[in-house]
Amino acid sequence: MVEFQQRGEDLDNNVLECKRLLEEAQGRLKELEEGRNEGEEDEEREAELKKVQAEVKKLKKDEKSFEKMTEKLRREEKKLPWDVDTISKEGFSKSVLNIKPVTKEETEEEKVEKHKTFVEKYAKEIKHFGMMRRWDDSQKYLSDNTHLVCEETANCLVVICIDFEIDEKHALMEQVAHQAIVVQFILDLGRTLKVDARGCFRQFFSKIKTADKPYVDAFDHELELLKERIRSCAQIRMDSAMKELEGEERQKRLGPGGLDPVAVYESLPKEIQKSFDEKNIEMLQEAISKLDLEEGKYHLSRCIDSGLWVPESGEGDDEEDDEEEDS
């Protein structure tokens, strides 16, 4: 049983290493092919291109071979007799390869609840990770807290970034955004290798620390895109908050008839506006008298409904009596 488990672990390690080498070789191949398309042709570059093409071909062949060996080992595992070892210890199906089983897709409500529960439980740890600046510190912290290697952590870090940007703490926003991309790249690596991201985050740090230029450039590019999205989201949230505040202020200043005094004032003729500016009742009465009856009645009614004009007790009745006499 011990020998069987060791074979499984060795095979897993070989699969991971093969996938890593294939990814690196494909990156070099893409770079060489782009150089050729830009007209940078020379014998040395062509020789290197052919060499890398052959390497990619061999690694793809090795990958398929490892997949067949993995499948064969899984079939052998199923035939093993049940004993204390096979029942009480993890078998090959739960080795570091850790291929995810097919699970029922979560609903949006379940995802939201899962995210909320996770963030409430690990908010302190996530924020602490977001403030880390050194690769080694980040790697050690994730090694001690592998549960943070997940989508919920990446999403939470982005939310923290948006809050910092709204508070105009731009340097902190950029720092936490960097860590959000770290988590996202680890998750992407896991998807690429088809393994649990918690089992391959060390590969990310090894790759990024060796200054593999195409990989670092891709990291920096994604970081800049994320920062732009964060600034955009922060602006949208601030605009929305401003509109909401303006709506509340408008609601507070509505007059007894439900009209906004600012909007009513802006719609008044210039002479009536001037009378309100100077708080001159005689000027107001004179300005209204110059209008025809219906227009004057319309503006006066709106001034009363908006609270711009507060008639004395009985004044409204007098106006109605005057209108009846005129008719």
Question: Residues 11-48: pLDDT tens digits?
Answer: 777 777 778 788 877 877 887 777 776 655 567 778 88
d(CA 250, CA 263): 10
d(CA 228, CA 234): 10
DSSP string, 254-311: --TTS--HHHHHHHS-HHHHHHHHTT-HHHHHHHHHTS-HHHHHHHHHHHHHHTS--P
Q: Which two tokens stand for residue 149?
A: 């290697």
Segment 175-216, tens digit of pLDDT: 999 999 999 999 998 888 888 888 888 888 888 888 677 888
User: Which of these CATH numbers, 1.10.1750.10, 3.30.1330.100, 3.20.10.10, 1.20.58.610, describes 132-246?
Assistant: 1.20.58.610
The pLDDT assigned to 101 comes to: 44
The pLDDT assigned to 38 comes to: 61
Segment 276-304, tens digit of pLDDT: 888 888 888 888 888 888 888 888 888 88
Q: What angle do CA 50, 51, 57 make, to 5 degrees?
A: 90
The pLDDT assigned to 224 comes to: 94
User: Which is higher by pLDDT, 154 or 31?
Assistant: 154
Segment 74-130, tens digit of pLDDT: 777 666 654 444 444 444 433 344 444 445 566 778 878 888 899 899 999 999 999
Q: Lowest-confidence range among 148-157, 191-200, 317-326?
A: 317-326
End-to-end CA distance of the chain: 110
Residue 324 has pLDDT above 50, yes or no: no
- Listed by start position, the domains of the chain span 1-32+49-79, 132-246, 261-306
User: Which is higher by pLDDT, 28 or 236?
Assistant: 236
User: Which is higher by pLDDT, 69 or 103?
Assistant: 69
